[in-house]
Amino acid sequence: MRTLPEQRCIANTLRRRIIPCMDVRDGRVVKGIQFKGLRDSGDPVELGRRYSEEGADELVFLDITAGVEGRATAVRMVERVAKEVFIPFTVGGGIRKAQDAQDLLRAGCDKISVNSAAVRRPELISELAAQFGSQCVVLAVDAIRTSSGYRISVDAGRTITEIPLEAWLAEGQKRGAGEVLLTSMDCDGGQTGFDLELLRIAAGLCKVPLIASGGFGHPRHALEAFAAGADAALAASVFHDQIMNIRAVKKYLKEHGTEVRIC
């Protein structure tokens, strides 16, 4: 597990955060719409370096097929990215036990993210929080709108469970998750804005920081997410494709009265 150097720019928890996300498959960053139609978006090391230099507050790296394929996240790839970024770095995908998390933390990430494995065995959250601390455990939640309300999906969106969003957020926090990364499967990749209803529901239940994911297409979408209760806004394709850059987003937010870290 690395120690953050003093010069590392760490977001003040009172400020809103902008977080690029790299979905990785076979060593490459990919992006699709609603987890489908994945296309190549570049090298994770190069993108990680660029986002760190552009002023991202944190970086999220998700090995999106590790869990489905029943393997651990590629530790060597995490090591390579960690050497290039000087911001907090979260890694998820294929973490099924504490040893998996420890391997990734030793490889250089600062936080670990769990999703499908935690849904299937919620005790995993408790075990990770007990061994590494809640501040290290991010609960990634993929939610989809149904006729019965929002439900939790797993296996990179392939399987929709009967678990209500509200129940899972409550249990995840009770078991020690220190942060929630909430993705709207309905809005993912669409660049038409976050699911604000979903965010309002989650914000009303979350006592830990809430990261909004799925739908970022314009800086105003981040403003809307923050107004709905999110503490951070996560984006992928708009940054990968250089439709906008992080500094420009933060400039817009600051001009509209939102406290952000400028670095």
- Active site positions, annotated: 23, 142
Q: Is 172 helix (H, G, I), strand (E, B) or coil?
A: helix
Residue 203 to residues 108, 198, 232, Cα–Cα distance (Å): 30, 9, 12
Residue 92 to residues 51, 60, 113, 224, Cα–Cα distance (Å): 18, 8, 4, 26
Distance CA 154, CA 210 (A): 19
β-pair partners for 260: 16
Largest CA distance in the chain: 49
Distance CA 247, CA 50 (A): 12
Q: How many CB atoms lie within 10 A of CB 124?
A: 21
C-alpha 58 chain-centroid distance: 9
